[in-house]
A and B are shown apart, each in its own frame.
Chain A
Amino acid sequence: MFYGFDFTNNICYIATYDGKKVEESDLVVCPQGLDERVAFLKGYVANDDRAAVAIEEVDESIQEFSAKLGPAFKVLSKEEAFGYYILGEDNTMWKRQNGAFEFHKDYFRFYEMSREGRILAVSSKRCDMKEVSLTTDKEKDKFFTKQSADVLNVRQINNVFLNGEEFKTDWMKLSLNALCAGRRVFAGNHLFATGALRSLTSNHNHRLELMTEDYHPFVWGIRTYHHGKKDVFAPIIQSGNFWFLTKGYVDVFVDECEELIIEGRNSLNQEKITLKLPLAFKSANPMRTTKLRIEIVCTGIHTILIRISDMGFGKTRAGAGKIFEEEYKLPSITGR
């Protein structure tokens, strides 16, 4: 048996697959804490079963969560679950632009999928609901009309999915008219649970790769001399890892420089970015006796920190420490 779980705050949607057909369960109320979720999942899934769990936000705690769940469980973001859902559909779906709205109590989020060659990129934007009061149906309709207009009026989206128990009621009057104009609209509550399930069971052959903003899409590096060859690209960090786990460094010797150039290449669309670091460096020490460490750390989905430190020269001279540090903002994987 295969399970797909979709957690949002204190509710959970579950999809199951017994090898013949997918079944969707009713909404289950479950606790929010990491340990409580682990206990809930382990109590639900038998030893020989496999399960995929879609969670709200992917951060450092995903490693602990995965470790506690064990190898029978796969933990993924909702963006990934959405991506797998679309990948499991036919080409009328994945060849087009897709969007999804997720609406639970005090939780509203828009997901967008775009295709660049063989890459399906999924990004999401969560609405801050702290100052939003949605007590009446009219307020909800007005709120959703505005939110959908904000995203759909500036994007060509062919298929829209509505997911969450808040969409169940019949308050959608204004908003539904706008939403259905020129696009297909699907409603349900098990989009992410089914998507998570498909990450285990789907054997599509689209040769498409899924990329979400939880993964850093850029390869960063510097042009150096290497084994006697000039301008060899030395990677500092690679693409494809969770952004919060993405960091790396190279050590180089720079005789002198006016500015240091760091190159980045987006592995999704091959877009190149050049960062020119205003590092006027001329060491007071003899030439080629100052080792510089160029370190790149992802500090957010769209930000990287570049730090350059004087590492000294082995036993001859101790390093002077940090000499340059700056944070850079990067474009979104869907280009927005």
Chain B
Amino acid sequence: MGPIILCETKEASNSYTFSAFHQEISTYEEMCYYIKEYFIFFVEEGIPDDLLRFVINDLGIRDIETDWKLLNNDKDRLKRLFSCRNYFLPQEVANLMKKYDRHMTLDAATRKSRLGDEYLKQKRYETALKCYKQTNVFQNDARVCYNIGVCYAHLGDLDRAAHYFMQSYKIGGKKKAQYAYFGILMLQGEFTAVKITAGTDYPAFKQEWDAMKEAFAKMSGNDSAYQKKNRIEEMKEQYRREVDEWI
């Protein structure tokens, strides 16, 4: 049997929304769960003041207020927040603190790129892009270049997206970056350019591209114009998800 955790706090009448990942919460346990899930946000950016006010005023955890002023670093504050009521087991809090320490041993650029990854997962492309650009090492990192390409693709800047996918491919030599580059070209109508550039890789890429088109046709076959429009939007979304999965 797994551990049984006693729930101490009541649900707040007012909810709180994590602006970083657009999640609404109303309980202490939800807060702990999402801080753990999106840990990098909180390690990099600390506990927002409005979240602390929500904990004190809406969740009624007033004992944390005095302690908070005495704690002068974010790690101790996170630990206090995790331990002030029941949710995590002591071992789980210790593991999270180790994760905090591991993250803090990374250099500033890597930490920024990790934060960018988190924003990218949340589809906050502009903020993610800002984080990647702050790293100053993005020009030499295939993964970061690829992610920047994904951000630009989602923001509709296909030329820049193609540029960064190609750069990623040049640095890392990974097929997914190359296919992403070809995909952008296909969306821009550069079919011949793709065929020439892809060379022997073209059949493999074409197979994937056709499969995607076929799936799109199948989905939108007998639909009304309105449904087709929706399907196209869904298809675009699916493509974006697939691109994201290549990260």
Binding site for B on A (CB under 8 A): 222-228, 230, 232, 234, 250-259, 286, 288-289, 291, 313-316
Contact = CB atoms under 8 A, between A and B. Distances in A.
Given A222-B4, A257-B2, A259-B1, 18 more contacts: A224-B5, A225-B6, A228-B90, A230-B3, A234-B6, A250-B7, A253-B4, A253-B7, A253-B29, A258-B1, A288-B29, A291-B27, A313-B30, A314-B26, A314-B30, A315-B24, A315-B27, A316-B30
B122 to A, nearest CB: 16
A225 B4 contact: yes
B18 to A, nearest CB: 11
B3 A255 contact: yes
A315 B30 contact: yes
Contact of A251 (B7, B24, B90): B7
Interface string B66-89: 000000000000000001001101
A314 B29 contact: yes
B103 to A, nearest CB: 22
Given A224-B6, A253-B5, A288 B86 contact: no
A252 B83 contact: no
A112 to B, nearest CB: 39
B33 A288 contact: yes
A314 B54 CA distance: 14
B73 to A, nearest CB: 21
Contact of A256 (B2, B25, B30, B86): B2
A257 B30 contact: no
Nearest to B28: A314
Given A257-B2, A313-B30, A291 B7 contact: yes
B15 interface: yes
7 tightest A-B contacts by CB? A255-B2, A251-B7, A314-B27, A224-B6, A314-B30, A253-B5, A257-B1
Contacts of B89: 225, 228
Contact of B11 (A223, A258, A314): A314
Nearest to B32: A288
B23 interface: yes
A227 to B, nearest CB: 7
A288 B4 contact: no
Given A288-B87, A316-B25, A316-B30, A256 B7 contact: no
11 contacts: A222-B4, A228-B83, A228-B89, A253-B7, A254-B3, A255-B3, A313-B27, A313-B29, A314-B30, A315-B24, A315-B30
Nearest to A258: B1
Interface SS, B side: mixed
B10 to A, nearest CB: 9
A227 B11 contact: no
A291 B27 CA distance: 11
Contacts of A288: 5, 29, 33, 87
A253 B29 CA distance: 9
B3 A225 contact: yes
B5 A256 contact: no
A225 B86 CA distance: 8
Contacts of A259: 1
Given A314-B29, A314-B30, A316-B30, A254 B2 contact: yes
A52 to B, nearest CB: 39
Nearest to B16: A315
Given A253-B87, A315-B15, A224 B4 contact: yes
Given A228-B90, A291-B29, A313-B29, A223 B2 contact: no
B23 to A, nearest CB: 7
B2 A316 contact: no
Contacts of A314: 11, 25-27, 29-30
| Of listed B1, B11, B25, residue having the most chain A CB within 10 A | B1
A252 B15 contact: no
A315 B29 CA distance: 11
Contacts of B11: 314
Contacts of A315: 15, 24-27, 30
Contacts of A222: 4
A314 B7 CA distance: 12
A257 B3 CA distance: 9
Contact of A226 (B29, B33, B86): B86
